[in-house]
């Protein structure tokens, strides 16, 4: 079955289950864990086929390879908290970022994307919430993927933002260019200017999640530790749980206000250039944070 933008719209609006691959740099921050759990628990909306570990490089890793490996291990930790008997396949991803837009980074994750999509008789959507290296490498290796699958990517900033030097994009600009240029049916969930609405506080998380189950306690603890360094007089720290919103496009689309517009050109310096002749894509303009958080909390607290 050929995937088109109209088909992607149809899948988003449909009440049927969607088959997805989650591509995540799970150890990078504290929000990927929420997103992974959300995807596992939204069983009426999502069929989570597999999970790919994505690379990252920041204060939590010494290299993209270490970031990917830490993410790989964190995936299993979260899965066990959601369901001790979970048997969802997990794949190691890229150990470097893309150096050449014509040369893929070889990985289990890229091959998993190709094999899953090309061998499936049903639509498969890739939900990517990290540097998009695994997806770009799969597209370079197998260009026909662009007509067989779709990607929802949390990456870049809003189109009206003064730049797009957001973490997921600026780590691997060539991969973002490959994906945007490929023509693959796509949803972009921008960070600054859109996902910044999806903010919570430790107090709110404790109110809704604390002492509900081991998963919830782990998620709250992670955010509390992250916010500790922001505690000071006159400051009430909060935290954006960005990555949940990419999954919400499929799980809680009523909380995502989306439009179809020409996709931008990603420039080498992590900015956008406009070409109105470009293929259209779906752009998340803003969010209903209360609706999405309400759905997220209900699913997280429903774990036995």
Per-residue pLDDT at 231: 62
State the number of CA atoms in the 13 A half-sphere of 100 facing the CB.
5
pLDDT score recorded for residue 1:
75
Structural domains in the chain, sorted by start: 5-198+241-297 (3.90.245.10)
DSSP string, 133-160: HHHHHHHHH-GGGGGTEEEEEE-S--TT
Average pLDDT of span 62-68: 98
β-bridge pairing 199-200 and 239-240 = antiparallel
- Whether residue 187 is predicted with pLDDT greater than 80 in this model: the reply is yes
Strands 124-128, 18-24: pairing is: parallel
pLDDT for 229-261, tens place per residue?
Answer: 666 665 667 899 999 999 999 999 999 999 999
Total-model pTM = 0.96
pLDDT tens for 267-283 read 999 999 999 999 999 99
Residues above pLDDT 90, as percent of the chain:
94
Please compute the mean of the pLDDT values over residues 173-189 and round it to a whole number: 98
Looking at residue 304, its pLDDT comes to: 59
Average pLDDT, the chain: 96
Give the list of residues 6+ apart from residue 229 with CB closer than 8 angstroms, or none: none
Would you place residue 303 in the very low, low, confident or very high pLDDT band (cuts 50, 70, 90)? Answer: confident
Are 258 and 246 within 8 A, CB to CB?
no
Torsions phi, psi of 35, nearest 5?
-65, -45
């Amino acid at each position: 079955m050929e995937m088109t933008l109209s088909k992607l719209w149809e899948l988003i609006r449909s009440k049927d289950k969607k088959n997805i691959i989650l591509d995540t740099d799970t150890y990078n921050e504290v929000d990927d864990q929420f997103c992974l759990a959300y995807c596992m628990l939204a069983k009426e909306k999502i069929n989570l086929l597999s999970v790919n570990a994505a690379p990252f490089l920041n204060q939590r890793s010494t290299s993209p390879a270490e970031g990917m490996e830490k993410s790989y291990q964190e995936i299993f930790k979260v899965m066990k908290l959601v369901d001790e008997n979970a048997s969802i396949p997990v794949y190691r991803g890229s150990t470097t970022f893309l150096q050449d837009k014509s040369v893929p980074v070889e990985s289990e994750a890229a091959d998993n994307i190709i094999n899953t999509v090309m061998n499936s008789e049903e639509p498969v959507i890739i939900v990517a919430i990290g540097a998009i290296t695994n997806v770009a490498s799969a597209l370079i290796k197998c260009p026909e993927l662009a007509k067989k699958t779709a990607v929802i990517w949390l990456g870049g900033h809003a189109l009206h933002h003064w730049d797009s030097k957001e973490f997921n994009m600026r780590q691997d600009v060539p991969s973002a260019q490959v994906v945007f240029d490929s023509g693959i049916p796509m949803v972009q969930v921008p960070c600054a200017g859109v996902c910044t609405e999806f903010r919570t506080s430790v107090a709110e998380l404790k109110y809704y999640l604390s002492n509900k189950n081991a998963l919830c306690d782990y998620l709250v603890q992670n955010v509390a530790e992250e916010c500790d360094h922001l505690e000071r007089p006159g400051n009430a720290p909060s935290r954006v749980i960005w990555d949940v919103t990419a999954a919400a496009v499929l799980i809680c689309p009523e909380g995502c206000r989306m439009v179809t517009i020409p996709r931008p050109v990603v420039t080498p310096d992590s900015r956008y250039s406009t070409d109105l002749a470009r293929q259209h894509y779906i752009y998340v303009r803003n969010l209903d944070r209360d609706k999405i958080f309400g759905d997220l909390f209900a699913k997280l607290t429903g774990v036995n």
